[in-house]
Amino acid sequence: MHAELSTTDTLATVHQLALRFRCADDADARLVGILTMPPAPGPRGVLIVTGGPQYRAGSHRQFVLLARFLAARGVAVLRFDYRGMGDSEGAPRDYRQVDADIAAALAQFFAAVPALREVVLWGLCDGATAAACHAPRDPRISGLILLNPWVRSPAGLARATLRHYYLPRLLQADFWRKLAGGGVQMKDSLASLRQVAADTHDDRQEAQAPAALLFQALGCFRGKVLLILSGDDLGAREWTTLLANNRAWRELGQRRNWRQEEVPGANHTFSSAAARARVERLCADWIASC
């Protein structure tokens, strides 16, 4: 077990370095990252891949705190801004267009930390999907830590909503009290339910959905995978519904090098102190055991 460190102790044992580096795919764009270093970095580091309209600090400074936590335990961590986000130059892009950005960050990471031999990619939401899609391209990536990976499609969202919202709602006494008291607009509610039910059978966009890209990437990746799901998040429920409804996904998730954990009550970004601490501990222990 690791000894617990206070925030003051953590800051005293790590140091941070601002980096500015070029993206090979865009000669005019320079990216900005923050390298968090332990006194004696080991051979394994962590590259944090941001998701959504976020920059390198993360929601409620999640990435800052995670980087310091891991660095205090001997793991070098780099977090950076994609082109067009935060302090990085260039045009904005979505998670399907950041391979060159991740490659540039990896090159800078290995150059700045000579002790590195392998890297774990860490990502939340579409950052997780972007990380997984890049992983098979670089043999130096030995592991993935994926939090609430983005697998949304119209049909997938509809299935998760039906299974995890509408059906449980029918079992709640509060719903029936509102219905009896006229607090439920039946016409609107039934129209919404019919639309959701119809969407569950709409597979026209499935082939181009994030889940299809993610499945192909994870099928090619031979490293270890840690999956962390929030207990109170629709995106996480979309993942569990996907596995429940798809045999190929279930078989993929049952690989020996996969591990899945859930943080009860956590929201999408694990914003509570307890949820964040649980994520930090899961990540640190998993990295140490790899």
**Does some domain include residue 252?**
yes
How far is it, in rounded angstroms, from Cα 121 to Cα 141?
7
Question: Domain with 103 in it: what CATH number?
Answer: 3.40.50.1820
Number of domains in the chain: 2
Range of the domain at 123: 7-152+209-289
In this predicted structure, the answer to whether residue 51 has a pLDDT above a threshold of 70 is yes
Instruction: Write the pLDDT tens digit of every residue in 90-136.
Output: 999 888 999 999 999 999 999 999 999 999 999 999 999 999 999 99
**Does some domain include residue 2?**
no
| Same-domain pairing of 137 and 55 | yes
**Does some domain include residue 64?**
yes
Mean pLDDT within 47-71: 93
Report the mean per-residue pLDDT for the chain.
83
| Beta pairing, strands 15-23 & 26-37 | antiparallel
Which of 141, 167, 199 terminates a domain? The answer is 199
Q: Distance from CA of residue 138 to its chain's centroid?
A: 19
How far is it, in rounded angstroms, from Cα 106 to Cα 124?
18
